[in-house]
């Protein structure tokens, strides 16, 4: 792990740490909501260890607490986690190795670990970003869920704390710099518009899948390898969103 830490720049490690802090707040909120809603502590803990997908966990617990069946909760979680399938193709190079490493990597695949991996050009940095982010989030998320669940009976109304807003706020802050690229901005706005348009008509969890239509409007990245070197020489780093889009397209081929 120490060698992986030395592979990444301090700025990347700082961003991973900030995401971990946001996830800790959301994990604590999930544990508190689950236990205060009447579920035993082992339920949110089992979901966090075995599922490890915040959105799916919240959705599944919401279905159960509202009177839905376990089958409906599982179906809802599967629909939400379907978004991770293209991420798996995009970062498949970091999951190479024996079967147990690929299985562990699949468990640690999240929006955040995929995003940090796709920001890196160098294969070693891609692997380091994925595994550092994935392992750190897994440990911190589960600890936060445990602490939140223990404190769930004392918090009362968890909605008044607004903890559920911390996670999307941090993700929005991470996405904003990528919107400087015209193709990425067009794809993001198109996907957001599609998700909002279908929200009143489809079950919870499906709008985020409709947002994938925005990929149809993503332009080709403008940076080339030569342009990347020139940009760094001039003091700017063109790696950001162009690298992520390029990586996804190369994996798709």
Crossing angle of helices 111-118 and 240-252, in 10° steps, is: 100
* DSSP state at residue 219: P
Give the per-residue pLDDT at 108. Answer: 92
Asked, for residue 79, whether it belongs to a domain, the answer is yes
Asked, for residue 199, whether it belongs to a domain, the answer is no
Give the per-residue pLDDT at 4. Answer: 64
* DSSP state at residue 176: G
Q: Domain range spanning residue 121?
A: 2-176
Give the per-residue pLDDT at 243. Answer: 46
Asked, for residue 46, whether it belongs to a domain, the answer is yes
CA–CA gap between residue 253 and residue 251 (Å, rounded): 5
Give the per-residue pLDDT at 244. Answer: 44
CA–CA gap between residue 72 and residue 63 (Å, rounded): 7
**24-93-173-5 Cα dihedral, nearest 10 degrees:** 60
Tokens of 171: 């993700």
Do the beta carbons of residue 52 and residue 110 sit within 8 Å? yes
Asked, for residue 189, whether it belongs to a domain, the answer is no
Asked, for residue 169, whether it belongs to a domain, the answer is yes
Give the per-residue pLDDT at 169. Answer: 65
CA–CA gap between residue 91 and residue 115 (Å, rounded): 9
* DSSP state at residue 98: S
CA–CA gap between residue 54 and residue 47 (Å, rounded): 9
Give the per-residue pLDDT at 156. Answer: 60
Give the per-residue pLDDT at 252. Answer: 41
Do the beta carbons of residue 189 and residue 214 sit within 8 Å? yes
Tell me how far the alpha carbon of residue 201 is from its chain's centroid.
25
Tell me how far the alpha carbon of residue 95 is from its chain's centroid.
17
Residue matched to tokens 């969103």: 241
Geometric angle at alpha carbon 230, from 224 and 236, rounded to 5°: 100
Asked, for residue 123, whether it belongs to a domain, the answer is yes
Asked, for residue 226, whether it belongs to a domain, the answer is no
Give the per-residue pLDDT at 162. Answer: 63
Give the per-residue pLDDT at 161. Answer: 64
Q: How many domains does the chain have?
A: 1
Asked, for residue 181, whether it belongs to a domain, the answer is no
Residue ranges of the chain with per-residue pLDDT less than 70: 1-6, 153-171, 173-175, 203-206, 208, 219-253
* DSSP state at residue 68: -
Tell me how far the alpha carbon of residue 180 is from its chain's centroid.
21
């Amino acid at each position: 792990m120490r060698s992986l830490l030395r592979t990444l720049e301090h700025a990347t490690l700082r961003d991973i740490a900030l995401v971990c802090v946001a996830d800790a707040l959301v994990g604590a909120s999930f544990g508190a909501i689950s236990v205060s809603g009447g579920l035993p502590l082992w339920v949110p803990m089992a979901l966090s260890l075995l599922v490890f997908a915040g959105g799916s966990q919240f959705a599944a617990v919401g279905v159960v607490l509202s009177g839905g069946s376990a089958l409906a909760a599982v179906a809802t979680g599967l629909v939400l986690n379907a978004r991770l399938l293209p991420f798996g193709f995009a970062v498949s190079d970091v999951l190479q190795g024996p079967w147990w490493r690929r299985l562990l990597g699949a468990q640690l695949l999240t929006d955040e670990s995929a995003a940090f991996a796709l920001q890196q050009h160098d294969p070693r940095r891609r692997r380091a970003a994925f595994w550092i982010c994935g392992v750190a989030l897994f440990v911190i998320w589960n600890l936060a869920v445990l602490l939140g669940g223990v404190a769930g009976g004392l918090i009362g109304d968890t909605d008044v704390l607004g903890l559920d807003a911390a996670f999307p706020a941090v993700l929005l802050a991470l996405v904003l710099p990528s919107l400087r690229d015209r193709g990425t901005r067009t794809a993001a706005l198109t996907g957001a518009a599609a998700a909002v348009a279908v929200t009143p008509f489809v079950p919870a969890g499906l709008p985020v899948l409709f947002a994938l239509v925005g990929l149809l409007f993503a332009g080709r990245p403008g940076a080339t390898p030569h342009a990347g070197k020139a940009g760094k020489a001039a003091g700017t780093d063109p790696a950001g969103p162009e690298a992520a889009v390029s990586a996804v397209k190369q994996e798709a081929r």
